[in-house]
Structure 1
Amino acid sequence: MLRPADIIAELERGYCEDGRSPSQADIHRWTAGARDDETQLYDDIGAELARGYHERRYSFDFCDRVVNDLYGTMIEKQFNDPQPSWPKLFWSVYEAFDAGEFHRKPDKSDDPVAEFTDPEIADIVQSLTRCAEGL
């Protein structure tokens, strides 16, 4: 299985060079065909996106596009071949970016990214850090 940072770099190149979104074939290649590794792959990508966004290595727009594209890939796969488990960490990251997609005020004077995405991602990263430290 490829490292999440390598997958993100591949996505950045694909988005920039030819506007290509990830496909089921990409997921298969990234996991070396191991179906059981897909849930872990999504969670690992989610963790990398959360950390990278929190550290300002990745933009909101990039992360939001990745999670939306991968979510679409997951849903497509669920219709055709239900998976044993849903990637919980990825889902939390997806929801954090989704929360920043739309304004809540009619005049759009609010900043949903700062108000919702940033603190949710900070909480996710803090949780990941505590887990890594064994706390």
Structure 2
Amino acid sequence: MDVMKSGSLESFARSVVDNVVSAIALQDLCAVHSVGMLALLDQLAGHIARGYSTDVWSFADADAAMNHLWAFLCSQKDFEIPSYFYSVYEAFDAGEYCHSGGAQDVSPEERYTKPLIEAILGSS
């Protein structure tokens, strides 16, 4: 896979917007970056969050990528959830739907995701 030869977080993250996560490709990326899977998932989450906060990534693409990474993680036997990854996943998840009692004149993305991502990035 050409994506893996470059070792690019951006290329890999973009590849999972519309596709399921390849375990082999993810393991190859871990090897390229000399990190374990949990550390790489945190790096990918941070990369996606930074891309979203700078308008390089749309909400739809960032949310889709995080959902595919989440689905992959949950499909693994005895999986662990990296805390940073989970906080980014939750921030995008919060923007997917209108919350009960929430103002209907503001999109969930604007009300929840944007401030959560800014807080996450500000604390890292």
With normalisation by structure 2, the TM-score equals: 0.80
Can you give the 5+ residue segments of structure 2 that lack an aligned partner in the other structure? none
Counterpart residue number, 1:112: 108
* 3-state SS of paired residue (1:32): helix
Counterpart residue number, 2:82: 87
Q: Cα–Cα, structure 1 residues 24 and 13, in superposed 2: closer, same or farther, change >3 Å?
A: closer
Measure how far apart 1:33 and its partner are: 9.2
* 3-state SS of paired residue (1:102): coil
Can you give the 5+ residue segments of structure 1 that lack an aligned partner in the other structure? 129-135
Count residues in correspondence: 117
Counterpart residue number, 2:59: 60
Instruction: State the Cα deviation string for residues 82-133 of structure 1 (Å, max 9, x = none).
Output: 24x4211000000000000012369x544000000000000011112xxxxx
* 3-state SS of paired residue (1:25): helix
Residue 49 of structure 1 contacts residue 58 of structure 1 at CA under 8 Å; is this kept in 2?
yes
Counterpart residue number, 1:7: 9
**1:99 maps to 2:87:** no
Runs of 4+ in 1 over 4 A off after TM superposition: none
Residue 46 of structure 1 contacts residue 90 of structure 1 at CA under 8 Å; is this kept in 2?
yes
- What is the Cα-based RMSD across aligned positions, in Å? 2.7
Instruction: State the Cα deviation string for residues 4-24 of structure 1 (Å, max 9, x = none).
Output: x81322342565xxx432222
Please, which of 114, 118, 121 is the counterpart of residue 117 of structure 2? 121
With normalisation by structure 1, the TM-score equals: 0.74
Counterpart residue number, 2:50: 51
Instruction: State the Cα deviation string for residues 41-99 of structure 1 (Å, max 9, x = none).
Output: 0001111111111111111111101110000000001xx2x24x421100000000000
